[in-house]
Every structure is written in structure tokens, then in C-alpha cells.
Amino acid sequence: MGLSVAIVGATGAVGVEFMQVLEARGFPVDRLTLLASPRSAGSKLPFKGRDITVEVLTEDSFKGHDLALFSAGSSVSKKYRQACTDSGCLMVDNSSAFRMEDGVPLVVPEINPADAAKAFRKNGGKGVIANPNCVTIIALMAVAPLHRAIPVKRLLAATYQAASGAGHAAMVELQEGTRAALDGRPFEPKVLPLPYAFNLFPHNSPWIDAEGYCEEEIKLSKEGRKILGDPAFNASATCVRVPVLRAHSEALNIEFTAPVSPEWAYGILRSAPGVRVVEDRARNRWPMPLDVAGADDVQVGRIRTDKSQPNTLDLWVVGDQLLKGAALNAVQCAEVAFFGALAPNRR
């Protein structure tokens, strides 16, 4: 028996991916409602061979729905949370609005699926499940399986984040800015605060704290503790925006509480769900954004011993921010909540 599903922010980059993921994974949708702001109302988007008209989001939009997938920003999520849950609808939210709220599960289904299923049962099929930050998801897909075997003492991360993390408009701005740079024309950025073509810069999070960390960098540590259920988990990140259209890359330096080896890590990660080890040493070939864009799995490679620090490994992780970092993870949360298991990976 199928479900009635609503997508909030349907015309955005993640909203479009929601539809594609639902279709690709065979999620049982009987009725799909696409919701957005008034400026997008009336536009049409394809789903399973037919066009669906986008409707204006209102507090009555969730009546008769089983599931709502949100990707329209924290303010929209906060505004419509009550209307959604009061309608008996499960809310899976892609914003940062509820991630650290007590009682709201923060879920990566390959890592802590029981948190989603438990919350779903406890709340009678409604309530909220939060999707973690994309950097956190991509990093923990590799870190969590290792952490379960030998606890992580400290994680250092340098991220190389694509335009997709700032939405479709940022992707378009990167393309247009690159064309202008190649043509020698002036270009004034409007979405991102600095020139993006042939450039990179520290992440443009909304704020920087007194210690010099931006919001994006703090999320990895705070969210990691909640997802892993380990208050001792310790992480520090330097987040950088790079001129890549889609898929985030991360260089991870992981210190463990006991001796480890690359061979040990490879053995665990080769059998970890949602993870694919990719490397060809002879050709100096490792995971790249171009390979990962449009792929469900997070790719890992270049695992090596850090010779400067005992019990420490370096590794390279790349994941599609719009998929595993956002839409795919959210749909997987719904699969675990409603059906108790993930659908097979079909891509």
C-alpha cells in the first residue's frame, strides 16, 4: 500500500533530487504533492512519466499525507512543523532547525537506523526526523564503521565543498562566472559573497564564533556526537568552498585509541554499507567529484598511516552532497521509519 508524500521546497536543488530518489528507489508513492513559495506555484515537475503542478505551501498542505520531505530552509521548517505533525504526517527535515533538539533523532540510516524507527513508533507515525549536515554525513559514512571497531580519539577534517551545497543558484553562478572569466568579462557574484570561478575561500557560513570557527565547522563535532551516541567524540574542521559544481570532498585525519593499519581500515570499509573503496595506485586514481556526482555511495580511498602521530590514519572521502548528503539520506530515513529497512541500492 502506497503513501501520500509531500515535498516542501520542491523546485530547489534538493527538492528535485527528492523526486528522482523516490522514483529510483521504488518508494511506494500513491500521491505526490509538490509545495513551494508563491513564485514557483503553477510550475510543473516530472515524476514517473507525468507532470505534477507545484502548489503554494500553506498550513493545510499536509492534511491527508503520511510523509513530508522538507528542504526549504530552517525558517520554513520551524514555521510549518506544527501544522505538519498535527496532521499526523512524519516530517523528515533537511535543514539545521531541529538537529540538536532533544528528542529529535538525527539519523544516518547506515549508522543509527534504530533512532529513526524508535521515534516513528513512539510518535505514532508523526513527529520529526532530522537530516544531518552534508559534511557530517559524508565523513561519518567512513568514520562510523571504523569507530565501532576501535573508538576514534580525534578527527581532523579539511573539506572541499561544491557549489551544490549552496543550492541551484550557486551552481548557476559558478557556471556563469566561469564563462565570464574565460571571456575576460567582469562578473559580479550575487549568491556567494566572493568571486568563485578559479578561486576558493573559507566556507561562507552565516557567522564565525569568538574562537574563529564558522557554523559549518562546528556541526561536524556536535552532530557527530549525537549520531554516534558518543559524547567523547571529538572533531575539528576547516571548511572550504571550491569551484566544483557537485559533490563534496573531505581529507580526514583520524586518531584512534589503539594501533591501527591501512589494511585494517580497508577491510572494514570494503564491507561497510553505502561505502565504496575506489583507488588505482598505479594510475594515481582516487575518488573524485566527477565520479561521485549522481552516485548513491560515498567513495573512500588513499588510506595511509600518518607518520607524525601514533594510531592515526589519513583518508580521502567524496560524496554527492545532493544525494547522500541530502535527498537520499532523507528518503532512506523514511524507508527505515515506515518499513524498517532500506530499499536496495538501484544506482
- Do 127 and 139 lie in a common domain? no
Look at residue 344 and tell me if it is in a domain: no
The pLDDT tens digits of the residues spanning 81-110 come to: 999 999 999 999 999 999 999 999 999 999
Q: Structural domain tally of the chain?
A: 2
- Do 159 and 305 lie in a common domain? yes
- Do 102 and 146 lie in a common domain? no
SS (H, E, C) the chain: CCEEEEEECCCCHHHHHHHHHHHHCCCCEEEEEEEECCCCCCCEEEECCEEEEEEECCCCCCCCCCEEEECCCHHHHHHHHHHHHHCCCEEEECCCCCCCCCCCCECCCCCCHHHHHHHHHHCCCCEEEECCCHHHHHHHHHHHHHHHHCCEEEEEEEEEECHHHHCHHHHHHHHHHHHHHHHCCCCCCCCCCCCCCCCCEECCCCCECCCCCEHHHHHHHHHHHHHHCCCCCCEEEEEEECCCCCCEEEEEEEEECCCCCHHHHHHHHCCCCCEEECCEHHHCECCCHHHHCCCCCEEEEEEEECCCCCCEEEEEEEECCCHHHHHHHHHHHHHHHHHCCCCCCCC
Residue 84 falls in the annotated catalytic set: no
Look at residue 345 and tell me if it is in a domain: no
Q: Is the pLDDT of residue 305 over 70?
A: yes
- Do 158 and 239 lie in a common domain? yes
Look at residue 293 and tell me if it is in a domain: yes
- Do 121 and 217 lie in a common domain? no
% residues pLDDT > 70 (the chain): 99
- Do 165 and 102 lie in a common domain? no
The pLDDT tens digits of the residues spanning 213-244 come to: 888 999 999 999 999 999 999 999 999 999 99
- Domain extent, residue 230, equals 135-321
CATH number at residue 120: 3.40.50.720
For residues 214 and 298, which has the higher predicted lDDT (pLDDT)? 298
- Do 32 and 122 lie in a common domain? yes
The pLDDT tens digits of the residues spanning 130-169 come to: 999 999 999 999 999 999 999 999 999 999 999 999 999 9
Residue 347 confidence class, pLDDT cut points 50, 70, 90? low
Residue 276 confidence class, pLDDT cut points 50, 70, 90? very high
Look at residue 108 and tell me if it is in a domain: yes
204-217 average pLDDT score: 85
- Do 35 and 175 lie in a common domain? no
Look at residue 159 and tell me if it is in a domain: yes
Q: According to the model, what pLDDT value does residue 345 have?
A: 62
The answer to whether the pTM exceeds 0.85 is yes
- Do 68 and 199 lie in a common domain? no
- Tell me which of 65, 147, 203, 248 is the catalytic residue: 248
Look at residue 82 and tell me if it is in a domain: yes
Look at residue 237 and tell me if it is in a domain: yes
- Do 296 and 161 lie in a common domain? yes
CATH number at residue 301: 3.30.360.10
Residue 203 falls in the annotated catalytic set: no
- Tell me which of 65, 84, 89, 134 is the catalytic residue: 134
Residue 124 confidence class, pLDDT cut points 50, 70, 90? confident
Q: According to the model, what pLDDT value does residue 122 have?
A: 81
Look at residue 15 and tell me if it is in a domain: yes
